[in-house]
Amino acid sequence: MPPQPDPTSPPMEPILDLRLSATLDPADWGPVRTVGRQMVDDMVGYLETVRDRPTWQSVPAAVRARLDEAVPREGQPLEAVYDQFREQVLPYATGNIHPRFWGWVMGTGSATAMLADMLASGMNCHLAGYDQSASLVEMQVLTWLKALMGFPEDASGVLVSGGTAANLDGLMAARVAKAGYDVREAGAFGGPPLTVYASSETHSWIYKACEAMGLGRRAVRSIPVDGDFRIDVDACRAAIAADRAAGLRPIAIVGNAGTVNTGAIDDLRALRALADETDLWLHVDGAYGALAALSDEPELVAGQELADSLAFDLHKWGYLPYEVGVILTRSPHAQTATYQAPPSAMPAYLQSATGGISTGTTYFADRGMSLSRGFKALKVWMAMKEQGVTRIGKAIQANIDQARYLGGLVDADPMLDRMAPVSLNAVCFRYLAKGLDAEGLDQLNREILITLQEEGVAVPSQTILGGRYAIRCCITNHRSRAEDFDILVDAVRRIGARLTGPAEALR
Ligand SMILES: *Cc1c(COP(=O)(O)O)cnc(C)c1O
């Protein structure tokens, strides 16, 4: 029986001592409800009207100054903070949700996933594992993604922050599987130097990853590409043989399913055969290209399903808000073999129990670097269920078709020069002008790109192909329509003519 109050002592005053009770919950939930509803309304309206705004605008000096304040020691009402967000933060975004944003490889997100992120933050689940619905949701989406990518049912997978993290995880697994010694115990210094093979078009994550793994940048063997920017498989074979002969220890071949520059897709089946022939791990970077598996033309990325590990983003061509990437490994054990602590080193505070919340293993924390993990899976689950994979696949197909459409506009226009094949959803081109040398054309196109962005018409980005400056559109945008590409081409012609003077415009 709990102790009874002594009837002779005075009744206790409620304790209002902030040292003993200092919750951050509001004293009155009313304003949270009101402002929260307003936020949902505003953000739905913001998405609904995105086409009416400029693609991008620079942050004005006055706003920059307001976003450089002293530490806010005392709080203010939520309404006031939200007002500042509405006036100074919301209008000056990257612009990637706009229908005419095709720079770098950015995603557009979706309304459903936006709402899911709010729900996930409210639940604030810890996704190391545990007996909870959120773990089942992550397992569920991984099962779906494995099926969609043609991976075996018992393959391993985990959601991560993005393509860089997912690709690093792929090489981490390769390193454990193919180093030939206990690399987890001995580190990079337990045997011969480890090397990896990837085309010269591979994204710069590979250098970050090799630096992070302690292999150094020199571990990356940059293999030349053919005229279509695909890896030269014979050159790759020769490089592996030469390194082996020199006493190095090759561990992995990295194939690209959609290079960042031009969307080139390596011959992944040939790379699989080469990996088998040389007993190496095949990792495929499908950061955005892997999603072509959901289009009507999955053969574009044929062979990615044969990889030992496949990395891809859902925040690019999966149209989900940042951040969410995926790493799958064919072997059910490759991820735990890489990241799970050996039994002798399993810390007591992380051991699983026979009942209660830590029943079972801490699945996800054993499959990757992160221990504290958020509920990214919810937006994947809700968006896939609400949109349906067929509809997502149609949006991906539309982007592939739009790239061909834009390529056609470029080819039909004598003032424009297409600089790479349209192999997936990327189009690289430039504006031509008479009387300009190569340097002059580079400079002209650099200025055209800046003007396009600053006018807010459209946001392509840039790259260098064969030493020459290219305007580059990578279409991972479910809001783009055919007319948006007409607008782009018209703007490029108009700006190009203006920058080169009236004589050129009259040509
Ligand atoms: C974007 C991208 C990456 C890096 O992925 P993040 O999600 O930005 O970390 C790697 N490879 C390719 C081909 C990409 O397009």
| pLDDT, tens digit, 9 for 90 and up, residues 419-470 | 999 999 999 999 999 999 999 999 999 999 999 999 999 999 999 999 999 9
Residue 331 C-alpha to ligand 1 middle, in angstroms? 23
Q: What phi and psi values does residue 129 have, to the nearest 5 degrees? A: 165, -115
Kindly write down the DSSP assignment for every residue of 43-93, as one continuous string: HHHHHHTGGGS-S--PPPHHHHHHTS-----S---HHHHHHHIIIIIGGG-
- The SS3 assignment for 430 reads strand
* Same domain assignment for residues 278 and 172: yes
Q: Does residue 91 fall inside a structural domain? A: no
- The SS3 call for residue 313 is strand
CA 287 to ligand 1 center in whole angstroms = 5
* Residue nearest to ligand 1 atom 8, measured at CA: 163
Cα–Cα dist 65/479, whole Å = 33
Planar angle of CA 327, 336, 320, nearest 5 degrees: 25
Residue 288 Cβ < 6 Å to ligand 1: yes
pLDDT number for residue 505:
45
Distance 206 CA to ligand 1 centre (A): 10
Determine if ligand 1 sits within 6 Å of the CB of residue 205: yes
Atom 5, ligand 1: which residue's CA is nearest? 163
Task: Report CA(204)–ligand 1 centroid distance (Å).
Answer: 9
Q: What is the CATH number of the domain that holds 333?
A: 3.40.640.10
C-alpha separations of 374 from 75, 330, 347, 364, 432 in Å: 27, 24, 22, 11, 49
- Does residue 260 have its Cβ closer than 6 Å to ligand 1? yes
Are 421 and 476 in the same domain? yes
- Give the span between the Cα atoms of 50 and 99, in whole angstroms: 8
Q: Is it true that the peptide bond before 138 is cis, omega within 30 degrees of 0?
A: no
Which pTM does this prediction carry?
0.94
Amino acid type, 19: R
Please say whether the dihedral angle defined by the alpha carbons of residues 404, 406, 407 and 412, taken in this order, is positive or negative.
Answer: positive
Checking phi first, is residue 413 left (phi over 0); if not, alpha (psi -120 to 50) or beta?
A: beta
Same domain, 309 and 417: no
Residues 340 and 301 in one domain: yes
Would you say the CB of residue 308 lies under 6 angstroms from ligand 1? Answer: no
Same domain? 315 vs 451: no
Answer whether residue 366 is part of any domain.
yes
User: Do residues 414 and 334 both lie within one domain?
Assistant: no
Q: Are residues 324 and 308 in the same domain?
A: yes
Ligand 1 atom nearest to CA at 325: 7
Q: Coil, strand, or helix at residue 411?
A: helix
Q: Which two tokens stand for residue 422?
A: 């349209």
Last-in-domain residue among 334, 365, 387: 387
Name residues whose C-beta falls within 8 Å of residue 111's C-beta, 6 or more positions apart in sequence: 44, 47
In 3D, which of 323, 7, 315, 302 has the Cα closest to residue 149?
Answer: 302
pLDDT at 507 over 70: no
Domain boundary, last residue among 387, 409, 429? 387
Does residue 458 sit within a domain? yes
Tell me the per-residue pLDDT of 56-66, one tens digit each, with 9 for 90 and over: 999 999 999 99
Contact 205, 164 (CB under 8 A): yes
In a shared domain, residues 347 and 436 = no
Q: Whose CA is nearest to atom 6 of ligand 1?
A: 163
For residue 320, tell me if it sits in a domain: yes
User: 331 and 367, same structural domain?
Assistant: yes
Residue 85 in domain: no
Residues 238 and 260: their CA atoms lie apart, in Å, by 25
Q: 105 in ligand 1 pocket by Cβ < 6 Å?
A: yes
pLDDT of residue 346: 86
In a domain, 457, yes or no: yes
Q: Is residue 134 part of a domain?
A: yes
**Is residue 100's pLDDT more than 70?**
yes
Q: How close is the Cα of 314 to the center of ligand 1, in Å?
A: 11
Phi, psi of 407 (to 5 degrees): -55, -40
Q: What is the CATH number of the domain that holds 486?
A: 3.90.1150.170
Residues 349 and 216 in one domain: yes
* Residue 65 CB coordination number (10 Å): 10
- Residue 143 domain boundaries: 125-387
Query: Looking at the domain assignment, is residue 64 inside a domain?
Result: no
Angle at 285 between CA 284 and CA 286, to 5 degrees: 100
Q: Are residues 134 and 279 in the same domain?
A: yes
pLDDT in tens, 319-337: 999 999 999 999 999 999 9
Of 387, 415, 442, which one is at a domain's C-terminal end?
387
Q: How many domains does the chain have?
A: 2
Q: Which is the closest atom of ligand 1 to the Cα of 286?
A: 13
Distance from residue 477's CA to the centre of ligand 1 (Å)? 16
Based on the fold, state whether residues 369 and 401 are members of the same structural domain: no
Task: Tell me the C-alpha distance between 25 and 229, whole Å.
Answer: 55
CA–centroid distance, 324 to ligand 1, in Å, is: 11
